[in-house]
Amino acid sequence: MFRLVKLCGFTILGAITMGCASTSFVSSWQAPVEGPIEFDNKRVAAVVVSGDETTRRAGETALAREISKRGRAQGVASYTIVSGEAAKDKDAAKKMLQDAKIEGAVVMRVISSEQEISYSPGTSWYGPTPYYGSFYGYWGYGWGMAYDPGYLRTDRVVMVETLVYSVTQDKLLWAGKSKTTNPDNIQKFIGELADAAAKEMRKAGFLN
């Protein structure tokens, strides 16, 4: 069995206390890695790919914290190494990351964000029944059939790809696509993604 041990501090991210009911992975993939790959005591870049610099910084700060606080890897927000427009220059980014001694990376990118509308129908009037013949017969029937107008519900569904790389090998180790319904703030969103990703990697045999 291929195993990835203590990957980027995610080994015990499953212990995150916040709920993950709104986040689930719809697909995942793992590389055929021979032997354990560890990032203990090494620098791991937290990368949130976003055209909005504020979102990127907030997301990477949260992700770097998740990488560091529960493992022995050192999470590093990538914007502190490669900032602004420099992120779009692959060669420049490569040199900066190498100079910063980055050995691993966890990358998250929103791939879609859509509204999902669902309708729950109400009850309808079906005409007189035998219960209409007496007051108390109708009383029991009527209250049991009180009209429900139904409702429309609009949810925000966000799809995110999460990728784990060995930067020194320039190799993809694990990938997953997740679905989150009605994400709240960026810190909670990143935490839920990290927790759900850890569970997926554990099921795949990458984590103990």
* pLDDT band at residue 13 using 50, 70 and 90 as cut-offs: very low
Convert the pLDDT of each residue in 23-57 to its tens digit. 999 998 888 866 556 788 899 999 999 999 999 99
Q: For residue range 135-166, what is the model confidence (pLDDT) as tens digits?
A: 777 787 777 776 667 778 888 999 999 999 99
Q: Mean pLDDT, to the nearest integer, of 179-190?
A: 88
Question: Residue ranges of the alpha helices (H) in the chain?
Answer: 53-69, 90-99, 135-144, 186-203
Which residues have CB under 8 Å from 119's CB, separation 6+? Answer: 150, 151, 152, 153
61 compared with 185, residue with greater pLDDT:
61
pTM attached to this predicted model: 0.73
Pair of tokens at residue 93:
């980014």
Give the start-to-end residue ranges of the domains of the chain.
Answer: 7-111+158-203, 118-151
Q: Topology of domain 7-111+158-203, per CATH?
A: Rossmann fold (3.40.50)
